[in-house]
């Protein structure tokens, strides 16, 4: 059994539908499901399994997209959706491989990405996450079950060699969605899982944890410079499998929108006036929070408030 002593050893650089599972061919595919919901009824959300590239597959339903690497060594997954989805997620994983899940890597601490930790850890999996994930989960109210806590931590990064893949896990350089975000790069398959630092809609900025639009942009630039090449596939925290061009398009949209917010705030416009002017109008069809998926957590209207306050506080 793995224990917390492995933290030091693994630290680097400072550190059709069947049983609720949709098995789809790779041609003429509909969009992956993207349900970010407040009341999770697993009967409403069948899991969809799809190949990404190389050895990596993705499972999508309610909550996070789940990257899966299966092979002779066992199974490694990135994130594990809501707690209520655990049975369905485990059933979906078994259609990929009947080997045991040995590792879970959490991209951050939100319950739609780590809700399945407890159920999967009880099966013997080791949970790995950036140190701040453990710190925040351990201090959470109500308390996080002990089995759901990461047992392997890192400050800046770690490298795993598993199923013939070199897997680089690296802390997102700046707080953006949370202060414990991580990227997971499957080098041999050329796939990058980015958690909620990249979703295929307007970024989920979290000012309470130090997040800003510029921090998102800086983190995207880091990923583009270090991991994302012309053929890389990106697994977002929510949304559709993406490419380098998709991320660059979102980056440019956010830069343009941020600059418009700043100009409007400097001109003395109120939030309601900014909403009426709609500085996102030509980007909404592709990136609005209502267009990309089913999102009950945050709306584009609420995102306007975040952007407006940021522009007012950082002109």
Q: Which CATH number is 130's domain given?
A: 3.60.15.10
Domain assignment present for residue 205? The answer is: yes
Would 264 be classed as within a structural domain? no
* pLDDT recorded at residue 20: 56
pLDDT at 68: 98
Quick check: helix, strand or coil at residue 165? strand
Q: Give a yes or no: residue 92 inside a domain.
A: yes
Residue 136: inside a domain:
yes
Instruction: For residue 232, give every residue at least 6 positions away whose Cβ sits within 8 Å of its Cβ, in sequence order, or none.
Output: 190, 191, 192, 243, 244
What pLDDT, on a 0 to 100 scale, did the predictor assign at position 73? 98
**pLDDT of amino acid 18:** 37
Confidence (pLDDT) at 14 = 36
Cross-strand partners of 242: 234
251 lies in some domain: no
**Does residue 304 fall inside a structural domain?**
no
- Give 268's DSSP letter: T
- Residue 138 tokens read as 């351990």
Which pLDDT score, from 0 to 100, does residue 21 have? Answer: 59
Conformation bin of residue 20: beta by default, left when phi > 0, alpha when psi is -120 to 50: left
> Is 283 a member of any domain?
no
CB 65 within 8 A of CB 32: yes
Per the structure, the count of domains in the chain is: 1
**Exposure class string for 144-168: b at 16+ Cβ within 10 A, else e:** beeebbbbbbbeebbebebbebebb
- 307 located within any domain: no
pLDDT, tens digit only, all 315 positions of the chain: 344 333 333 333 333 343 455 544 445 689 999 999 999 999 999 999 999 999 999 999 999 999 999 999 999 999 999 999 999 999 999 999 999 999 999 999 999 999 999 999 999 999 999 999 999 999 999 999 999 999 999 999 999 999 999 999 999 999 999 999 999 999 999 999 999 999 999 999 999 999 999 999 999 999 999 999 999 999 999 999 999 999 999 999 999 999 999 999 999 999 999 999 999 999 999 999 988 889 999 999 999 999 999 999 987
Between CA 44 and CA 37 the distance in angstroms is 11
Domain encompassing residue 97: 6-243
């Amino acid at each position: 059994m793995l224990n917390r002593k492995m933290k030091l050893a693994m630290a680097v650089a400072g550190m059709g539908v069947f049983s609720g599972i949709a098995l789809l061919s790779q041609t003429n595919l509909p969009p992956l499901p993207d349900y970010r919901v407040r009341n999770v009824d697993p009967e409403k959300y069948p899991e969809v399994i799809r190949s990404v590239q190389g050895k990596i597959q993705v499972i999508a339903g309610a909550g996070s997209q789940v990257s899966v690497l299966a092979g002779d060594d066992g199974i490694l997954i990135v994130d594990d959706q809501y707690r209520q989805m655990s049975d369905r997620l485990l059933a979906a994983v078994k259609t990929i491989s009947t080997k045991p899940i040995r590792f879970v890597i959490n991209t951050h601490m939100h319950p739609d990405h780590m809700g399945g930790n407890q159920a999967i850890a009880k099966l013997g999996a080791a949970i790995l996450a950036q140190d701040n994930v453990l710190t925040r989960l351990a201090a959470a109210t109500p308390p996080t079950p002990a089995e759901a806590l990461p047992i392997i931590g890192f400050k800046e990064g770690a490298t795993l060699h598993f199923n013939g893949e070199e897997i680089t896990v690296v802390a997102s350089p700046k707080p953006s969605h949370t202060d414990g975000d991580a990227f997971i790069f499957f080098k041999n398959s050329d796939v990058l899982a980015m958690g909620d630092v990249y979703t295929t809609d307007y970024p989920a900025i979290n000012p309470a944890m130090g997040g800003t639009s510029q921090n998102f942009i800086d983190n995207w630039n880091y990923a583009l410079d270090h991991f994302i090449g012309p053929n890389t596939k990106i697994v977002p925290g929510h949304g559709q499998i993406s490419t380098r061009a998709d991320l660059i398009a979102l980056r440019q949209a956010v830069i343009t929108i941020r600059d418009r917010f700043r100009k409007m705030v400097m001109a003395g416009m109120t939030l309601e006036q900014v909403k009426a002017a709609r500085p996102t109008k030509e980007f909404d069809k592709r990136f609005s929070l209502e267009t990309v998926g089913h999102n009950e957590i945050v709306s584009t209207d609420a995102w306007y408030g975040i952007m407006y306050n940021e522009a007012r506080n950082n002109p």
